[in-house]
A and B are shown apart, each in its own frame.
Chain A
Amino acid sequence: MEIVIDNPGAWTTVQDSGRFGCQQYGIRTSGVMDQDAYQAVNSILGNDPGASVLEMTLTGLRCHFEGNGIIALTGADMDALLDGEPVERYQAVPVRNGQELRLSLAEDGCRAYLGVAGGIDVPLVLGSRSTDVKSRLGGFQGRTLQAGDRLATGRQLLRENSSPETGREHEESRAPRHRHIPHYGHAASVHVVEGPQADWFGEEARSRFFASTYSVAPASDRMGIRLTGTPVESLHGVDIVSDGIAEGSVQIPKNGMPIIMMADHQTTGGYAKIGTVCSFDLPKLAQVKPGDQVSFRRVSVEEAQRMLLDPAERERSAPLGFHLRVSGTLTAGRRHRSRGWQVDVRLRRGWRRK
Chain B
Amino acid sequence: MTIYPAGDRALSADFGNQIDEKTNDQVMTLAAALADGKLPGIRELIPSYRALLVEYDPAVYTYEVLADRIRKINTEINAADSGAGADNQRHPRRIHLIPCCYGGEYGEDLTGLAELTGLSEQEIIRIHSGRDYKIYMLGFLPGFPYLGGMDSRIAAPRLDSPRVSIPAGSVGIGGSQTGIYPVASPGGWRLIGRTPVPLYDPDRNPPVLCRAGEYIRFVPIQPEEYGTIRSDVSNGVWQPQTVTENDA
The chain A residues found within 8 Å of chain B, CB to CB, are 20-27, 125-126, 135, 137, 193-198, 240-249, 266-269, 273, 275-280, 301-302, 304-305, 307-309
Interface string of B56-82 (1 = CB under 8 A from A): 001100111000000000000000000
Contact B55 A246, beta carbon cutoff 8 Å:
yes
Residues of B near A245 (CB, < 8 A) are 53
Residues of B near A196 (CB, < 8 A) are 4-6, 11-12, 14, 51
Q: Within the assembled complex, what's the spacing in Å between the Cα atoms of A137 and B53?
A: 24
Contact A243 B7, beta carbon cutoff 8 Å:
no
Q: Within the assembled complex, what's the spacing in Å between the Cα atoms of A279 and B62?
A: 15
Interface string of B1-42 (1 = CB under 8 A from A): 000111111111010011100000000000000000000000
Contact A23 B8, beta carbon cutoff 8 Å:
no
Residues of B near A27 (CB, < 8 A) are 142-143, 207
Residues of B near A277 (CB, < 8 A) are 7
Residues of A near B48 (CB, < 8 A) are 241-244, 268
Contact B142 A279, beta carbon cutoff 8 Å:
no
Given contacts A244-B12, A267-B46, contact A22 B5 (CB under 8 A): no
Contact A26 B44, beta carbon cutoff 8 Å:
no
Contact A305 B140, beta carbon cutoff 8 Å:
no
Contact A26 B138, beta carbon cutoff 8 Å:
yes
B5: min CB distance to chain A, Å: 4
Nearest first, the 10 A-B pairs at minimum CB distance are A244-B53, A276-B7, A268-B139, A244-B46, A196-B4, A246-B10, A304-B8, A196-B12, A195-B4, A246-B6
Contact A305 B58, beta carbon cutoff 8 Å:
yes
Q: Does B137 sit within 8 A of A, measured CB to CB?
A: yes
Q: Identify 29 residue pairs between A and B in the complex whose beta-carbon atoms are under 8 Å apart, listed by A's number.
A: A22-B206, A24-B138, A25-B200, A25-B206, A26-B140, A26-B142, A26-B143, A26-B208, A125-B202, A126-B207, A135-B141, A135-B183, A137-B142, A196-B5, A197-B4, A241-B18, A241-B49, A241-B50, A243-B14, A243-B49, A246-B55, A273-B6, A276-B7, A278-B8, A301-B5, A301-B63, A305-B58, A305-B62, A308-B58
Residues of B near A275 (CB, < 8 A) are 7
How extensive is the interface on chain B, given as a class? 35 or more
Given contacts A24-B47, A27-B207, A268-B137, contact A309 B6 (CB under 8 A): no
Q: Does B144 sit within 8 A of A, measured CB to CB?
A: yes
Which of B18, B44, B64 has the largest count of A CB atoms less than 10 A from its CB?
B44
Q: Does B125 sit within 8 A of A, measured CB to CB?
A: no
Which one, A126, A248, A273, contacts B202 given CB within 8 A? A126
Which one, A24, A197, A198, A279, contacts B9 given CB within 8 A? A279
Contact B183 A309, beta carbon cutoff 8 Å:
no
A146: min CB distance to chain B, Å: 21
Q: Within the assembled complex, what's the spacing in Å between the Cα atoms of A21 and B45?
A: 8
Residues of A near B4 (CB, < 8 A) are 195-198
Contact B183 A193, beta carbon cutoff 8 Å:
no
Q: Within the assembled complex, what's the spacing in Å between the Cα atoms of A277 and B7?
A: 6
Q: Does B146 sit within 8 A of A, measured CB to CB?
A: yes
B32: min CB distance to chain A, Å: 12
B86: min CB distance to chain A, Å: 23
Contact A24 B44, beta carbon cutoff 8 Å:
yes
Contact A309 B142, beta carbon cutoff 8 Å:
no
Contact B44 A23, beta carbon cutoff 8 Å:
yes
Q: Within the assembled complex, what's the spacing in Å between the Cα atoms of A13 and B91?
A: 46
Find the B residue at minimum CB distance from A25: B208
Residues of B near A304 (CB, < 8 A) are 7-8
Residues of A near B14 (CB, < 8 A) are 196, 243
* Extra 18 A-B pairs, beta carbons < 8 Å, given A196-B14, A243-B48: A22-B142, A24-B138, A27-B207, A196-B4, A196-B51, A241-B50, A242-B146, A244-B12, A244-B48, A244-B51, A249-B6, A267-B138, A268-B46, A276-B6, A276-B7, A277-B7, A301-B8, A307-B8
Find the A residue at minimum CB distance from B31: A24
Q: Does B52 sit within 8 A of A, measured CB to CB?
A: yes
Contact B46 A309, beta carbon cutoff 8 Å:
no
Q: Within the assembled complex, what's the spacing in Å between the Cα atoms of A278 and B207?
A: 30
Contact B5 A135, beta carbon cutoff 8 Å:
no
Find the B residue at minimum CB distance from A127: B205
Residues of A near B5 (CB, < 8 A) are 193-196, 276, 301
Q: Within the assembled complex, what's the spacing in Å between the Cα atoms of A260 and B183?
A: 26
Q: Within the assembled complex, what's the spacing in Å between the Cα atoms of A308 and B63?
A: 12
Q: Does B43 sit within 8 A of A, measured CB to CB?
A: yes
B23: min CB distance to chain A, Å: 9
Contact B207 A25, beta carbon cutoff 8 Å:
yes
Q: Does B192 sit within 8 A of A, measured CB to CB?
A: no
Q: Does B212 sit within 8 A of A, measured CB to CB?
A: yes
Find the B residue at minimum CB distance from A197: B4
